[in-house]
Amino acid sequence: MPSTQLTTFADATASFSEARYVILGVPFDRTTSFRPGARFGPDAIRQQSWNFETYNFETGLDLSEVPIHDLGNAEEFGSAEEMAKGVRELAQPIWEGSKFPITLGGDHACAPPVVEAAPRDASLGVLYLDAHLDFREVYLGDRRSHACSARRMVERLGSSNVVVLGVRSMSRDEKEDNDRIGMRYLSAYDIHREGIRAATERALEMLHTERVYITLDIDGIDPAYAPATGTPEPFGLSPLDVKTVIDLAAPRLAGLDIMEVSPPWDSGNTSALAARLAREAILRTELHRSGKDVSRSG
Ligand SMILES: [Mn+2]
């Protein structure tokens, strides 16, 4: 059973059965490779979520009227393999209930089990926002390391169903493995050159799945905006870039996770950004669901 936490995510007042959106915290950062702290991410993001208005003028929606449930945090886990098993068990009922999972990490190792918990016939493609390619077969003896997360998703979904956005760091081995395996990526430089809108549209066209899942490693965003993360990497995306990705993906969006927010390095701005992006994902998905999304023709 998930344990209790300091507070729930703002406006998460619905029961699990009523909810269309379900928040799950995974306070696990045992595979962090540089500076630790992401285990404190879920509660910091929840706290910051109370900063925002329930009403959103852009969509005309009020989050207090959207059925959101907060499952709380997963228990503590020993190994990453154990964590993966536990997260699959927690995420499975969310997918089975046709609800929209919003998982708050934790290090990026916490993301693949959410995707693995989706039914095989879910027709799910992944937009993988990250500074790093995360394409190692194994890292420091652990196949479940956060440095292997894109590789694990490709194993589950196939190389054509994962597209990485904002990458600007990879090892030679990762580059060579991926040249062979063929996961597609648009680097931070490609996106800067092409513009986020065109790049996102191109990435969405690459995914031939009915539905799209976004996994956001907060380090995909530039450390100027999101300094509180385990492995900060210059030349990143802007917060508005990520909002644009969410807006454009919304008609197909099936779930989201936000990983690697590391509160010990935060003055509150990184977790506030994460909370706001989670709220944007709910608002945009809900707007599309309500049939009022006219932004695509604008
Ligand atoms: Mn990552």
Q: Find how far residue 16's CA is from the centre of its chain.
A: 21
Q: What pLDDT is attached to residue 33?
A: 85
What's the gap in Å between 15 CA and the centre of ligand 1? 31
Q: Are 7 and 23 in contact (CB under 8 A)?
A: no
What's the gap in Å between 62 CA and the centre of ligand 1? 32
What's the gap in Å between 265 CA and the centre of ligand 1? 17
What's the gap in Å between 247 CA and the centre of ligand 1? 22
What's the gap in Å between 17 CA and the centre of ligand 1? 31
Q: What is the pTM of this model?
A: 0.96
Number of Cβ within a 10 Å radius of residue 124: 24
What's the gap in Å between 75 CA and the centre of ligand 1? 22
Instruction: Select from 112, 273, 241 the least CA-distant residue to 165.
Output: 241
In order of 136, 149, 240, the CA distances from 164 in angstroms are 14, 11, 17
What's the gap in Å between 231 CA and the centre of ligand 1? 9
Q: What pLDDT is attached to residue 285?
A: 98
In single-letter form, the type of residue at position 155 comes to E
What's the gap in Å between 79 CA and the centre of ligand 1? 18
In the structure encoding, which two tokens stand for residue 178, read together?
């991926």
- Give the residue carrying structure tokens 């644009």: 244
What's the gap in Å between 232 CA and the centre of ligand 1? 11
What's the gap in Å between 134 CA and the centre of ligand 1? 6
Q: Are 155 and 181 in contact (CB under 8 A)?
A: no
What's the gap in Å between 74 CA and the centre of ligand 1? 20
Q: How far is it, in rounded angstroms, from Cα 178 to Cα 153?
A: 13
Q: What pLDDT is attached to residue 298?
A: 36
One digit per residue, pLDDT tens: the chain, 298 residues? 455 457 999 999 999 999 999 999 999 999 998 899 999 999 999 999 999 999 999 999 999 999 999 999 999 999 999 999 999 999 999 999 999 999 999 999 999 999 999 999 999 999 999 999 999 999 999 999 999 999 999 999 999 999 999 999 999 999 999 999 999 999 999 999 999 999 999 999 999 999 999 999 999 999 999 999 999 999 999 999 999 999 999 999 999 999 999 999 999 999 999 999 999 999 999 999 988 765 544 3
Instruction: Select from 55, 56, 26, 60 the least CA-distant residue to 43.
Output: 26
What's the gap in Å between 131 CA and the centre of ligand 1? 7
Number of Cβ within a 10 Å radius of residue 290: 12
Ordered by where they begin, the domains of the chain are 21-297 (3.40.800.10)
Q: What pLDDT is attached to residue 5?
A: 54
What's the gap in Å between 41 CA and the centre of ligand 1? 15
What's the gap in Å between 130 CA and the centre of ligand 1? 5
Q: What pLDDT is attached to residue 64?
A: 98
What's the gap in Å between 195 CA and the centre of ligand 1? 22
What's the gap in Å between 146 CA and the centre of ligand 1? 6
Q: Find how far residue 221's CA is from the centre of its chain.
A: 12
What's the gap in Å between 114 CA and the centre of ligand 1? 14
What's the gap in Å between 135 CA and the centre of ligand 1? 9
**DSSP character for 182?**
-
Q: Are 54 and 62 in contact (CB under 8 A)?
A: yes
What's the gap in Å between 167 CA and the centre of ligand 1? 10
What's the gap in Å between 189 CA and the centre of ligand 1? 18
- Give the residue carrying structure tokens 């990485």: 164
Is it true that the peptide bond before 158 is cis, omega within 30 degrees of 0? no
Q: Which residues surround ligand 1, an ion (CB under 5 A)?
A: 108, 130, 134, 217
